[in-house]
Structure 1
C-alpha cells in the first residue's frame, strides 16, 4: 500500500490529501472542535505521510499562508478590546505575564527532564493561538511537529474543561449571547487581506525577521484597521486554505519515529496541561476578586486555550467578551514578544 501511494502521480496524491483534509475538517467543525481546518489538514497529512505519500508543500505557499494567519489574527484586535485594555491594563498585563511564566516553567521542566528536546517543550506549552505558536516555534528551531501535537492537545483539553465550566457558570442564556455568525463577505476587504498577506509575508521573508511572514501582516493589519485606513476580512474559505497549508507542511514531515517519541511523552505532557489549566483557574479567582468580575468572565479570560475557541465559548454563555478578548489578545502578544528570549534562555539552562 505505501509503495503504491508513493507511485501515484503528484496531482492524485494532492487530490487525496485535500479531500481527506476537507472531510476531517468538516467533521471537526460539526463536532465544534476549534481550529478544525488546521487539525483536519494536520491529521490527514500525518496519516498519508505515514503510509507513503511523497508530495511536499511548496515553501512559497506555506509562507503566504503564514501571512493569511497574521491577517486573521489582526482582525481580532478591535476598538472594544483596546478600550478594555486601556481601562484595566495593569491587571491584564499581570495576568498575561503570569500565564506566560507558568507555561514556560512547565515547558522548562519537560526540557530538563529530557521528555522533549530544547525549545520544543517550551513552545509546546506556550499559551496563545495554537497556529501562531506553531509558526513561531519553527522560526526558532523547535521541532514543529511535536509543538503542533502539544498545542492542539492542550486546546482540546482546555476547551473540554472550559465548556464544562461555562455550563456551570453561565450568566445568560445562549439566545441572549452575541452572535458569532460569519459577517457578509465584502470582496474589497477580502482582496485587501490577500494583498496584505502576500506583501507582508514577502517582506517578512526578505527581512529575515523570525516568524516575520506572520508577524508583519498581523502588526500592519491591526494598525491600519485601528487607524481606519481600510478594513480587511478573512472569510472561512480563505482561512481554511491558510490553515490547511500550515497543516500540510507540518503533517507531511511526520515519521513513525516522531509519533513514537510523542506517545512516550504523552503522560507527562497531559500532566503539564492539567497543571496549567488548574493554575490558570486559580489566577482567575484572584482576577475576579481584584476587578469585581463575574467568575465566568475571569475564567475564560485566563483560560490557556486559543483565542477562537475562547471566543466561541464565551459568546454563547454571556461573558464580558471585550475583557476576555483583551486579555487573550494581550497574552498572545506578550508570548510573541517575550517567548523567543525566554525560550532561548531556558533552553540553554536545560542544555537543550
Structure 2
C-alpha cells in the first residue's frame, strides 16, 4: 500500500495497522495472564521492547501517530465525569488536608527527583530538572526543550515515570489485595450500556467535543481529559443526561494510549534505555514511599482508605489511577481531583523554581 498524504505528512496506514496489531497482541496476552490494566501495560511492554531493540515492520521502526489519542482520550474524562453526584461534592469539602498536603508533596518530590537524577545519575542539570517534574508530562517536556535540555533522555525519564507508575502501582495493589485490580478485574469508571442508541452516540460525541475545545480554549491542565470531565460532570449533576461511554471504548482508549507510549522508545539505545529505567525506578520507588507515608498520616482526616490517598499522590495518569480506584471501590472523584491539582502544581512550581535552580544556564540560541 502506497503512503498517503495526511495533514501535509506522508503516512503509511499499513505500518500503523501493524504497529496497532502488535500492541493489541501484547494487550491480549497481558489480559490472559491477569496483568493489571492489561491493554495498556501489555501494549507498552511489547512495543517498547520492539522499539528499543530495533525490530522493524515494513522496513521501518514501529510508528503510530500521537494525535490519534486526541479522538479517544475524552472518553476517559466523560466516564469520570459521570461519577459526580451531589453527595460526592459534599464530601469534597472534607478533602482539604490532603489537597493542602499535595502543595508540599509536589515540590518536595520534584526537588528530590532533580537532585537524584543530577547528582546520583549524572544527568545534565536542565535535563534532570525537567525530567523530574512529577506531572504534566507534555508541558514539562516542552519547557525542557525550550530550556535546552536533552529531549531524548528527558522524554525517556518522563515516560518511564508514567509507565512504571502505571505498571507497578496496580501490580502492588494486586499483590496486597490478593486479586486483580483495574481493568484486569473488569472495572470501568462508570459502567455504560454497550448497546448505545444513535442519540446516545450523538450525546457522547457532543459532550466530548464541547469539553475538548472548551478545555483547550480555557487553558485547562491536561484539557483532553479534564475538559470532557468537567462538561460530563455538569451534565450529569444537572440531570441533562445519564449517558456513559461503553466499557469497550475505555478498553480501546487504554490500548491506543499504550501503543502510542510504546513507540516513543524508537531510536533509543538499549544502554540509555536501561539507564533511564534504573533512574526512573528509583525515583518512583522514593515517590511512592512518600505517598504511602502521607496516606498513613492523613487518611483518617479525609475519611478515605489508605489506598485512596496513595493513589491520589501517585505520579501516574489521571485515567489509569482512576481505573485502579474503581476496582478497589475507592472514590474515583477523590483520586481525580487530586491528580488534576497535581498537574497544575507540577507545572506551576516547575516554572517558579527554575529561576533559582537553573539561573546559571542561559537559554540556548536558535541557529
Q: TM-score, normalized by length of structure 2?
A: 0.70
Contact 1:120–1:144 at 8 Å: present in 2 too?
A: no
Q: What does 1:253-268 align with in structure 2 at a 5 Å threshold? A: 253-257=264-268, 260-268=271-279
The superposition leaves residues 220-268 of structure 1 with CA deviations (integer Å, 9 ceiling, x where unpaired) of 2222222222234222322233333333434334234265333113333
Contact 1:136–1:210 at 8 Å: present in 2 too?
A: no
Contact 1:110–1:121 at 8 Å: present in 2 too?
A: no
Match of residue 63 from structure 1: 70
Alpha-carbon offset, residue 85 of structure 1? 1.4
Contact 2:288–2:310 at 8 Å: present in 1 too?
A: no
Q: TM-score, normalized by length of structure 1?
A: 0.72
Distance 1:45 1:78 in 2: 39
Q: What does 1:290-329 align with in structure 2 at a 5 Å threshold? A: 290=301, 297-303=305-311, 304=314, 306-312=321-327, 314-315=328-329, 321-322=330-331, 325-329=332-336
Structure 2 residue 98 is matched with structure 1 residue 92: yes
Among candidates 152, 156, 165, match of residue 154 of structure 1: 165
Displaced runs of 4 or more, over 6 A: 206-210
Contact 2:40–2:254 at 8 Å: present in 1 too?
A: yes
Match of residue 30 from structure 2: 28
| Residue ranges of structure 2 left out of the alignment (5+ in a row) | 1-10, 146-153, 362-367
Distance 2:55 2:200 in 1: 41
Check 1:198–1:328 CA distance in 2 against 1; reply closer, same or farther (3 A cut): same
Check 1:272–1:345 CA distance in 2 against 1; reply closer, same or farther (3 A cut): same
Alpha-carbon offset, residue 335 of structure 1? 1.3
Give aligned pairs, total. 317
| Residue ranges of structure 1 left out of the alignment (5+ in a row) | 1-8, 127-132, 316-320
Distance 1:330 1:208 in 2: 17
The superposition leaves residues 152-173 of structure 1 with CA deviations (integer Å, 9 ceiling, x where unpaired) of 2123332333344445xx9xxx
Q: What does 1:116-265 align with in structure 2 at a 5 Å threshold? A: 117=127, 120-123=130-133, 125-126=134-135, 133-134=136-137, 137=140, 143-166=154-177, 180=187, 182-185=191-194, 186-187=196-197, 188-202=199-213, 211-257=222-268, 260-265=271-276
Match of residue 5 from structure 1: none
Q: Which has the higher contact order (CA 8 A, sep 6+)?
A: 1
Contact 1:66–1:201 at 8 Å: present in 2 too?
A: no
Match of residue 148 from structure 2: none
Check 1:16–1:60 CA distance in 2 against 1; reply closer, same or farther (3 A cut): closer
Alpha-carbon offset, residue 190 of structure 1? 4.6
Check 1:36–1:98 CA distance in 2 against 1; reply closer, same or farther (3 A cut): farther
